[in-house]
Amino acid sequence: MEQTFALKGNIIFTPVCGKLEVRPRQYLVCENGLVAGIFETLPERFANIPVHEHGDRLILPGLVDLHVHASQYAYRGLGMDMELLDWLEENAFPEEARFADPAYAAAAYRVFADELTRSATTRASIFATVHRPATLLLMDLLEKAGLRGFVGKLNMDSNCPDYLRETTEGSLAETRRWLEESAGFSGVRPVITPRFIPSCSETLMNGLGGLQRQFGAAMQSHLSENLSEIEWVKQLRPSTRFYGEAYSQPGLFGGECPTVMAHCIWSGEEERALMKERGVFLAHCPQSNMNVSSGIAPVRTWLREGQKAGLGSDVAGGAHLSIFRAMTDAIQCSKLRWRLVDDSLPALTLPEALYLATKGGGEFFGKVGSFEPGYEFDAIVMDDSALPTTRQCTLTERLERVVWLSDGLPLAKYVAGRQLF
C-alpha cells in the first residue's frame, strides 16, 4: 500500500460549521494514513510522490453515518406505515431474530457490507443484533472491506418477544465475551449497545456500566425519539427526571464514556444541558424521524448550543443508506420545522449539513471528517459529469448538485489512507 500520495482535484471541506473551504485543482497529500496538507504546488519533500489525478472532479471528506442498523438492511423501504413501537414489534424484532442463524447473518451482512463499501460513507456507528457470533461476523466483513467505525452487539433483557430476549446474566456474559473476542480488530471497534431503556433492566444497565469502565469501550443507544417511548421510560424509571438520566445513572452518558445517542428529538433543556456538559454526541436521523412519524429534531438549537452532532441514516427506520440523502432530508425537515413549528430556528444550510455529515459526526471517531493536517485521510471523489446542465456552475454549485441530484456513489474512496476503489 502506498504510504504517501496525493489526490489532485477540486477539494471541498468544512473546517468550521457552515463555512465551505474550496480549493480548486489542488493537491491533497496523504502521509501514513493522515492528511499532510493541501497545496497549490507540491512542496519539495513531496515532489516525487504518486499523484492520483482526478481532473475536474470533486474531492470531499468521506461521509459519516452516526447511526445505522446493519441487521435491518434487508427490509429497508418496507413497512413504514407505523409509529416506532409497533414498527419494532412488526418489522425490527422478527428480522433481527433471524441473525441467530449464522448462515442468514453471513448472507445479510455481506449485502450490507458491500453496499456500505460502495457508498460515500467511510465511517459508521452500527447496531448489529443481540447475537454475539453474528456481530463478530459483521465486524470481520467490515474490517476486511477496509471500512472503519463501531459495531455493537445489542443488549435486550426486557419488553421484547421471547424469541429475542436475553437473560440479564446471559446478556452480560455474552457482552463480556464479545468485548474480549473483539480485541483482535483494529479499524472496527466494539461499542456497548443497550438497545434503548425499555429493552434493558436496571441490573443489566448497571452491569453494562461496569463493562464499559473495565474495557474503556464507547457506547451508543437511542434517546427521546418517540412520545410513547418517552412516557414508557418515565414509568419504567420513576426516579429519573428525564430519559437521559436512565443512561447517566449507570455511568453510560458521556464524560469518561464516549457516547452517541440517536434522535434526541424531544430532549428538553435539562437533558441537552447534560449532553453538552458530558460531550454526548447527538445523531440526527431525519428520514427515520419522518418515516416512523417521531417528529423533527431542533438541530438549529443544537448548533446554537454547541452540541456535538452528526447525521445518521438509521436504516431501516430510514430507507436510504446515503448520507447525501440524510443531508437533504435534514435541510428539508428543518425548513418544515421553521415554517410550521418555530420560526425562531432558521433552516439548515448546505454547508451546515455537510459539516454535520463529515466533521460533526466524524469527531466521534477521533480526528475524522476534515482535510485539516493531522486528520485521518478519509476521502471520496465525486464525478458530476453525469448530471448535465447548460449552466456554468461554480464549485459550490457543483457540490450542491452532487448532494441533491447524484446517486451518491463515489468514483473513488479512501479510508484512513487506504484506497478501497
- Residue 14 or 125: the one with the smaller Cβ distance to ligand GUN is 125
- Residue 113 or 233: the one with the smaller Cβ distance to ligand GUN is 233
Give yes or no for residue 84 binding ligand GUN (CB under 6 A).
Answer: yes
Helices (H), 202-268: 202-215, 227-236, 243-248
Binding track over 288-327 against ligand GUN, x by CB under 6 A: x-------------------------x--x----------
Query: Of 290, 366, 292, which is closest to residue 334 (Cα–Cα)?
Result: 290
Residues 271-330 that bind Fe ion (CB under 5 A): 314
Give yes or no for residue 96 binding Fe ion (CB under 5 A).
Answer: no
The residues with which 39 forms a beta bridge, in sequence order, are 27
Which of 60, 63, 70, 88 touches ligand GUN (CB under 6 A)?
Answer: 88
CB of 234 to ligand GUN, least distance (A): 16
Residues 178-237 that bind ligand GUN (CB under 6 A): 195-196, 222, 225
Binding partner selected for residue 225 from Fe ion, ligand GUN, none, CB under the kind-specific 5 to 8 Å limit: ligand GUN
Rounded to whole angstroms, the Cα distance separating 86 from 90 reads: 6
Using CB atoms, what's the residue nearest to Fe ion? 314
| CA 224 distance to own-chain centroid | 17
Q: Total binding residues for Fe ion by CB under 5 A?
A: 2
Instruction: Give burial (CB, 10 Å; 0-12/13-18/19+) of 99.
Output: buried
Residues 6+ apart with CB under 8 A from 114: 145
By the 8 A CB rule, do 379 and 60 touch?
yes
CB of 88 to ligand GUN, least distance (A): 6
For cell 455537510, name the residue: 354
Part of the chain binding Fe ion (CB under 5 A), chosen from 259-267, 268-276, 379-387, 403-411: 259-267
CB of 400 to ligand GUN, least distance (A): 29
Rounded to whole angstroms, the Cα distance separating 347 from 338 reads: 6
Part of the chain binding ligand GUN (CB under 6 A), chosen from 84-92, 158-166, 244-252, 392-400: 84-92
Binding partner selected for residue 297 from ligand GUN, Fe ion, none, CB under the kind-specific 5 to 8 Å limit: none
Binding partner selected for residue 196 from ligand GUN, Fe ion, none, CB under the kind-specific 5 to 8 Å limit: ligand GUN
Looking at the chain, the number of H-run helices and the number of E-run strands are 15, 16
Could you report how far apart the first and last alpha carbons of the chain are, in Å?
A: 13
3-state secondary structure 165-213: CCCHHHHHHHHHHHHHHHHHCCCEEEEEEECCHHHCCHHHHHHHHHHHH
Give yes or no for residue 92 binding ligand GUN (CB under 6 A).
Answer: yes
- Give the residues lining the site for ligand GUN (CB under 6 A): 69, 84, 88, 92, 195-196, 222, 225, 288, 314, 317
